[in-house]
Structure 1
């Protein structure tokens, strides 16, 4: 199956573009069939982010320390995690493979907030001087769509603050919103 829609979730060490990325999760979605394809997930080496000029925010570190052990386990053995430039190349390959012959201007990447996931990942691509695998017109805001359907219950992820688990839950919530509202995208 070819996919043109992707739900993205990042776990980061800050809330602003140029924040260091801890992990990346993406699931391809077929909105018409309400189908989620096999996802992509990688943990990112924080030192490689810092060397690229990305930031680690102290308040975010303190927030992570208050989270569950399962969430904090994302930090374990971080020195052995994927270099940021390798992770970005893998994201590009994943989207390209899942999208098949879909034209780049038809690929849509959904993030939870207009200034969060997509913006932070775009900033990482820019800082690494790597091409972004979708056009700006393909940036979609899941948070905005959620706000338009406040009565639709949010699907909870199996593991909170795990990028792939969060992306899957967000995709399922998106499907529920489309079903409830009758919107077609």
Structure 2
């Protein structure tokens, strides 16, 4: 069985040095319909990041204020925030044994996470050749598979789950089989 990971982050900006609010991750086999599993959800310490010089974008903060209150409150609440040391350890542990790691557009999630790791002087737990992009994959479908599946956008773990399910659906649609 192939083991891939899906990562999603929610932030307070769009630049590489944006404050990261939450990180979601889930493991899945893109070649099967086995449910995504081993979810990871981290609520990152915002104060620690601003002390490092990471940025909060006012436009992004205004955008968050227009989101569904349940999703917004989950993302912005101060409850259960963990240190960046804990964040990197948990992501590193999550990535052990992954064949590939996906996100919804590699120039956002991976760029911001790589910037954070670099600031902390820690190597990222993936190689450039492991990175996969679900957005490009979904564009190949006759109809965007995300539209019929997901309702709770902008919860990092829920986004990962639905994106992983959509990768499975897309692989099945195109008859992609396990192989290199």
Instruction: Indicate whether the TM-score tops 0.5.
Output: yes
Tell me, yes or no, if structure 1 residue 60 matches structure 2 residue 60.
Answer: yes
- List runs of 5+ in structure 1 lacking aligned partners: none
Aligned residue number for residue 127 of structure 1: 119
CA deviation profile, 1:79-99 (whole Å, cap 9, x unmatched):
x51122321111111222xx2
Maintained 8 Å contact 2:2/2:30: no
Aligned residue number for residue 26 of structure 2: 27
Aligned residue number for residue 153 of structure 1: 145
CA deviation profile, 1:12-54 (whole Å, cap 9, x unmatched):
1111211110000000111222331221001111111112221
Bigger share in helix: 1
Question: How far apart in 2 are the matches of 1:95 and 1:3?
Answer: 13
Aligned residue number for residue 88 of structure 2: 88
Maintained 8 Å contact 1:158/1:165: no
Question: How far apart in 1 are the matches of 2:165 and 2:118?
Answer: 30
Matched positions, count: 175
Structure 1 length normalisation: TM-score?
Answer: 0.86
**Residues 18-27 or 113-122, more deviating:** 113-122
Structure 2 length normalisation: TM-score?
Answer: 0.89
Question: How far apart in 1 are the matches of 2:165 and 2:58?
Answer: 32
Question: How far apart in 2 are the matches of 1:115 and 1:167?
Answer: 16
Question: How far apart in 2 are the matches of 1:86 and 1:112?
Answer: 24
Superposition RMSD in Å:
1.8
Shift of 1:68: 0.7
CA deviation profile, 1:116-168 (whole Å, cap 9, x unmatched):
11111111111111121110111111111111114243154353211001100
Equivalent of 2:155, from 125, 150, 162?
162
Tell me, yes or no, if structure 1 residue 179 matches structure 2 residue 178.
Answer: no
Q: Kindly tell me: are residues 115 and 150 of structure 1, through their superposed partners in 2, closer, same or farther at Cα, counting changes over 3 Å?
A: farther
Maintained 8 Å contact 1:70/1:159: no
